[in-house]
Structure 1
């Protein structure tokens, strides 16, 4: 008689950033929906309250767990996610996050999940979970090429040249080490940082106000987890997934691209879409560029001016979703910009339903900061990408997409990262309408066969869950 599968209880604990929280929730929903396992989704009260509504078919299987965020000096009240604070305040958010150690331990002790699927930030979590007999999986919203570039634990550590540690020649201690492919990448690659990006990244290699560096967090998580699950798939990053599997001594599992489900908004948000769709409906099919730099990117006033004036100079119809920054810094549009572009473009300062906008037939291109989730959304609908990365892994994602001829980066100066209105206008015209840019438009359409193929993507989740089930069976029997 066939053995009946036991329902697993899986706790999920994403980092306090919506670029991490939403893919983590998407993964949780799919695990519940497809396999019937129970999910405890853990975050802070305000973040939980901002989540999209859980579909009724999986709601009974998903428990939303609110852990109040401890108070930390320098962290504004009600700031519970990276989108709520300017970039330089994020280390204080990490301090508050690290202070969730005790309430999270108590929750794990009382609820006794089989697995905890965690993020890169809680470097203190694996030993706690191991002591409680809970299996650990690190879920990375960073794609495989980025993880390979960051490097495996032995090259993140401070030791050098020991029997099992890195060769001293592998240790990256200089800025120059980040603008070339790492020595452990055995094939040709252009996925590197530019000098201006490497300067910013270099900060991550040093301890910040939270007391530890981001690299240290990665290293400790790798050393304490049992599986690494990555938001990617073989069809996009086969060579990088294979390499990462060789670099780590534990299973590496692609969980697919987790394309977000269309969200049902509340009435207010639906009326927002009515207004936006009316304008989009009036535009010619395949003529509009959508501009959105995510909820955390804060360009300088100069960058902002050049982007705006480049949009104007390009002559392309545009829809610009312009989020007001959490830090409250005031950034002004160039004088007379809205008047001069009236009718041709819209600057939208409220909430904008990105998924619905990208799916609209008038949209052909997307000026993006290269967040992996935004890229995933765009390729579901075959939108050609104009790449304008700013922080973190965005530069590496831009290089990956350029290697695949799936987007074009707006040229910047290597040293300071500045760009001009002319380079913005030129890149927009190339990707949106020039004959030479047809290759990028075609490649973006080709991407829908991977990114838009829900069945293909869901098979990755199924395989991942089978891995979790088998591992638990072995642990239980052992």
Structure 2
């Protein structure tokens, strides 16, 4: 079937393949909507484990995904959801055993290609696939794109600086920066200044935490170096950042072969500002917390969330709790059922009773809506990139408490480069360190009630304005996404011409 769009052009059909983790799925779900709005057909491929969790979490809320309707037609959009086994047993602790998950994902290419081929005839309203948008950490898509003769578009879910450090990881091995020597993090002579893109000098601990393994045969260490090799093999590069934050050069540095590279973020923001719900949470969101926020004073609430994967020791959660109590501020705390080393948190005796008039605890929250609420004045965060983008986009300063991956870089940049927050001393050097209640309380008070904190609030409000301008019509990210769609259309036109010759 020869499907045309409203302008009489061959319709574009994007396959989107995220890494099976909350932050990666969320970012690419937002991109799926933005492409669909621009007339692109989208096939979104989750692993079965992720898809089932998204469906279950969405039963009581709005979502693009449902068990019974895997094809979505809304305001002219066409988004199709498919799922694929990840190769692991049902009871496998995926997020707690990242090494086995990464190795399994690297082998999914043949199954992904079979899935796409078999799906082609099941949705006659969908045109042939014209390009694949792949999470930068899904190397399995390389051979699929080659076999299907379609462009492979690499999507970076990290900030540009973290993406550059990962893209050049094998180079950093040759230069002696990987494996990372944490003890050199405070040595100014060990700053990494050899990377392109005019990114700020990096400390050894800014590199992905997986490179701290001193044994190069470590499975996760090897897996990320392998991904680095494949991350240079793309026909187009998209990055979830905005030019006004990190500059064009940092994004361009991700193109090792001369392919176009564009900043198109913050991806969630235009959907959020225009009221499009793109819920793809792995947990049911408790929107009752918004009603509670309505009853608090403007700028008074500390929002606490350590993301979807980070875990803390019981001792650390106890110290965070006591620090929050000592701050005197109202707080909204997201406590996942597996937050305390895989178990539910046990808070200090009497803590909930003592703070009940100014505290609310939820299992999961609609984070963008929370951060946009006028009563929220600070975000105590794990410093994931999605959370960092959401916080700056809503004008909320941060206190960073990183756990793994790129979070250490995001945390330091928030403090030292963008100057929108603080962190706790030496948490980037020692993942076993327990931050005591006195330090927690002190940092929270500095952010909430000192001139230093006010300056950071002023800084983040300026970033909020820049982020909104970037994603709205006429802004840098808005125009870059339009350019990408136009380039894919031209690529499709050339492909169609070649097929008829």
TM-score (norm 1): 0.84
Secondary structure of the structure 1 residue equivalent to 2:229: helix
Q: 1:124 to 1:399 in 2, by over 3 A?
A: same
> Does 2:245 align with 1:229?
no
Deviation at 1:29, TM superposition (A): 1.1
The 8 Å contact of residues 11 and 113 in structure 1, kept in 2 or not, is answered as yes
Gaps of 5+ in 2: 1-6, 56-61, 65-71, 121-127, 186-190
> Does 2:31 align with 1:27?
yes
> Residue in 2 aligned with 1:286?
299
> Does 2:181 align with 1:172?
no
Q: How is 1:22-421 mapped onto 2 (pairs within 5 angstroms)?
A: 22-34=26-38, 36-49=39-52, 50=54, 53-54=63-64, 57=74, 60-72=77-89, 76=91, 85-86=95-96, 89-110=97-118, 111=120, 112-152=128-168, 155=171, 168-169=174-175, 172-175=178-181, 179=185, 180-185=191-196, 189-194=200-205, 200-203=210-213, 206-209=216-219, 212-222=222-232, 224-238=233-247, 241=250, 244-245=253-254, 248-259=257-268, 261-262=271-272, 263=277, 272-273=286-287, 275-325=288-338, 328-348=342-362, 350-402=363-415, 403-412=417-426, 415-417=429-431, 418=433, 419-421=435-437
> Does 2:491 align with 1:471?
yes
CA distance in 2: counterparts of 1:322 and 1:200, whole angstroms: 25
> Residue in 1 aligned with 2:67?
none
Secondary structure of the structure 2 residue equivalent to 1:65: strand
CA distance in 2: counterparts of 1:335 and 1:393, whole angstroms: 34
Q: How many residues align?
A: 451
CA distance in 2: counterparts of 1:381 and 1:339, whole angstroms: 31
Q: 1:396 to 1:115 in 2, by over 3 A?
A: same
CA distance in 2: counterparts of 1:133 and 1:264, whole angstroms: 30
Q: 1:226 to 1:410 in 2, by over 3 A?
A: same
Secondary structure of the structure 2 residue equivalent to 1:259: helix
CA distance in 1: counterparts of 2:8 and 2:153, whole angstroms: 24
Deviation at 1:209, TM superposition (A): 4.7
Deviation at 1:154, TM superposition (A): 5.7
Secondary structure of the structure 2 residue equivalent to 1:452: helix
The 8 Å contact of residues 197 and 253 in structure 2, kept in 1 or not, is answered as no
CA distance in 1: counterparts of 2:299 and 2:246, whole angstroms: 28
Deviation at 1:244, TM superposition (A): 1.3
Q: 1:422 to 1:235 in 2, by over 3 A?
A: same
Deviation at 1:174, TM superposition (A): 4.9
State which of 448, 462, 472 in structure 1 corresponds to 2:482.
Answer: 462
CA distance in 2: counterparts of 1:186 and 1:242, whole angstroms: 7
Q: 1:375 to 1:23 in 2, by over 3 A?
A: same
Q: 1:335 to 1:367 in 2, by over 3 A?
A: same
CA deviation vs aligned residue, 1:94-153 (integer Å, no higher than 9, x gap): 344344322211133453511111123332331232122121011110111101222437
Secondary structure of the structure 1 residue equivalent to 2:241: coil
The 8 Å contact of residues 307 and 382 in structure 2, kept in 1 or not, is answered as yes
Moved more, 336-345 or 24-33: 336-345
Q: 1:205 to 1:443 in 2, by over 3 A?
A: farther
Deviation at 1:8, TM superposition (A): 1.0
The 8 Å contact of residues 204 and 213 in structure 1, kept in 2 or not, is answered as no
CA deviation vs aligned residue, 1:47-76 (integer Å, no higher than 9, x gap): 23416622853575111112233344xx62
Deviation at 1:278, TM superposition (A): 3.4
The 8 Å contact of residues 408 and 428 in structure 2, kept in 1 or not, is answered as no
The 8 Å contact of residues 178 and 198 in structure 1, kept in 2 or not, is answered as no
TM-score (norm 2): 0.80
